[in-house]
């Protein structure tokens, strides 16, 4: 599938710093260095949207966090390979389309288009491969077949259809066991499974936590022909298959919003390990949740702040970007209208400062910016460093202006 136009990223003098970022599996800051099998290639898979409420600021903040990581990696001299999916077939999409009386395909296509446009306006580096699940259904079915053959998948009967297939979460390989990626205890896993697309109550499963791999065709639901018969994939296996198809594993980073820690990333890693015998990723990184008016943004609460709506209202996309970068990516935080006002003022101040840059080398500034971002992508700290420089009366250099463009994606 087509992604979106790549922003120009200026090269900077000297060598950038390999970043340390927080890994959910080890619950520690880890150097985000490529695996030794591909020492100069940083690989990243970021879970894409389910296209029905794009692009609210929570989405934008997540993709911006990984855009920042990619910029830091590029500056550190790595080649970067980036893959993202879009979950253009899943229960939440079908439910939303039914509720709104629209065809699920039209809903997905229009939301993906909106998402691409928003990402481009925000200057977010596009994935090298942007893959829709509906493009890889046969591949997912073939992978599930391997899981059946190696004993990690089993059938669950259904009264109104052929058997469905589930993953046996007690299947342990050296590369994975249940809880390895999410570092959660079982009661919390059960809670999250019920909240986030799992079906712990379904009879016939070996363990309530076992996730769906393949749903056989139901009357009135979309289904595809495959080596498993007609049906459609479960949620987690799609990401395992797309990542394995397009990237060397272990990935340097598997990323997404924090609501993907469990069950999604846990089982994407489990499925991939059951398919290959190897870990899916070295680091599992998550962006925090963005709230508005006291609640996590969601369409059902009516508190979505959409990028497209802010832009249509006259907001400069650079201000939206700067507002999002003013918060730490890993924190949960609340968007307020003041975020955009402050970012507008800051952008005006930075732009005035950058109007007549000097030719000075400005190594000190570059090092400071690099150090901030290498410290778990501390964009807020980087912004504070730039503010302090302006407040202190230090003239802008061409290097500084390029660094703000290359590392923060703000072209002044």
Write out the residues near Zn ion by the rule CB under 5 A: 47, 239
Nearer to Zn ion, 60 or 241 (CB): 241
Nearer to Zn ion, 254 or 397 (CB): 254
Nearer to Zn ion, 239 or 323 (CB): 239
Cβ 47 to Zn ion shortest distance, Å: 3
Cβ 97 to Zn ion shortest distance, Å: 21
Token representation of residue 61 = 């903040």
Dmax over CA atoms of the chain, in Å, equals 74
d(CA 387, CA 368): 13
Cβ 370 to Zn ion shortest distance, Å: 30
Nearer to Zn ion, 215 or 271 (CB): 271
Cβ 214 to Zn ion shortest distance, Å: 17
Chain-centroid distance, C-alpha 58: 11
Cβ 242 to Zn ion shortest distance, Å: 8
Nearer to Zn ion, 47 or 108 (CB): 47
CB distance 282 to 43 below 8 Å: no
The 10 Å Cβ neighbour count of residue 105 is: 14
- Quote the strand ranges of 159-239, DSSP E: 161-167, 212-216, 231-233
b/e map of 391-412 (b: 16 or more CB within 10 Å)? eeebebbebbbbbbbbbbbbbb
Cβ 261 to Zn ion shortest distance, Å: 11
CB distance 372 to 16 below 8 Å: no
The full 3-state SS of 45-79, as one line of letters, equals EECCCCCCCCCEHHHHHHHHHHHHHHHHHHHCCCE
Nearer to Zn ion, 94 or 410 (CB): 94
Token representation of residue 116 = 């691409």
Nearer to Zn ion, 19 or 255 (CB): 255
Token representation of residue 71 = 């910029």
Cα angle at 253 between 248 and 254, to 5 degrees? 95
Cβ 115 to Zn ion shortest distance, Å: 15
């Amino acid at each position: 599938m087509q992604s979106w136009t790549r922003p120009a990223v200026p090269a900077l003098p000297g060598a950038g710093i390999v970043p340390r970022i927080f890994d959910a599996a080890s619950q520690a800051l880890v150097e985000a260095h490529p695996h030794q099998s591909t020492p100069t290639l940083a690989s990243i898979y970021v879970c894409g949207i389910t296209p029905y409420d794009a692009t609210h600021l929570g989405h934008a903040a997540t993709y911006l966090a990984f855009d920042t990581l990619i910029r830091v990696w590029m500056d550190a001299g790595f080649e970067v390979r980036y893959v993202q999916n879009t979950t253009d077939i899943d229960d939440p999409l079908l439910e939303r389309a039914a509720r709104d009386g629209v065809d699920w395909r039209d809903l997905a296509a229009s939301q993906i288009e909106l998402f691409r446009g928003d990402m481009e306006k925000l200057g977010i580096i596009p994935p090298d491969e942007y893959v829709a699940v509906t493009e890889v259904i046969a591949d997912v079915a073939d992978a599930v077949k391997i899981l059946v053959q190696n004993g990690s998948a089993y059938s669950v009967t259904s009264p109104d259809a052929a058997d469905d297939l589930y993953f046996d979460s007690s299947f342990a390989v050296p590369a994975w066991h249940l809880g390895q990626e999410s570092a959660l205890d079982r009661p919390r896993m059960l809670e999250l499974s019920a909240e986030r697309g799992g079906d712990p109550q379904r009879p016939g499963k070996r363990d309530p936590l076992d996730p769906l791999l393949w749903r056989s065709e139901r009357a009135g639901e979309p289904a595809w022909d495959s080596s498993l018969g007609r049906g459609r994939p479960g949620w987690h296996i799609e990401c395992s298959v797309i990542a394995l198809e397009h990237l060397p594993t272990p990935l340097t980073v598997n990323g997404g919003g924090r609501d993907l820690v469990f069950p999604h990333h846990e089982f994407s890693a489990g499925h991939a390990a059951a398919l290959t015998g190897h870990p899916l990723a070295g680091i599992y990184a998550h962006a925090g949740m963005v709230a508005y008016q006291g609640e996590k943004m969601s369409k059902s609460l009516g508190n979505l702040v959409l990028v497209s709506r802010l832009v249509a209202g006259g907001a400069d996309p650079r201000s939206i970007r700067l507002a999002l970068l003013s918060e730490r990516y890993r924190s949960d935080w609340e968007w307020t209208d003041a975020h955009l006002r402050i970012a507008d003022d800051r952008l005006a101040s930075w732009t005035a400062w950058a109007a007549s840059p000097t030719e000075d080398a400005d190594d000190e500034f570059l090092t400071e910016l690099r150090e901030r971002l290498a410290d778990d992508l501390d964009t807020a700290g980087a912004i504070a460093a730039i503010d302090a420089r302006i407040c202190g009366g230090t003239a802008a250099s061409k290097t500084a202006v390029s660094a703000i463009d290359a590392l923060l994606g703000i072209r002044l």
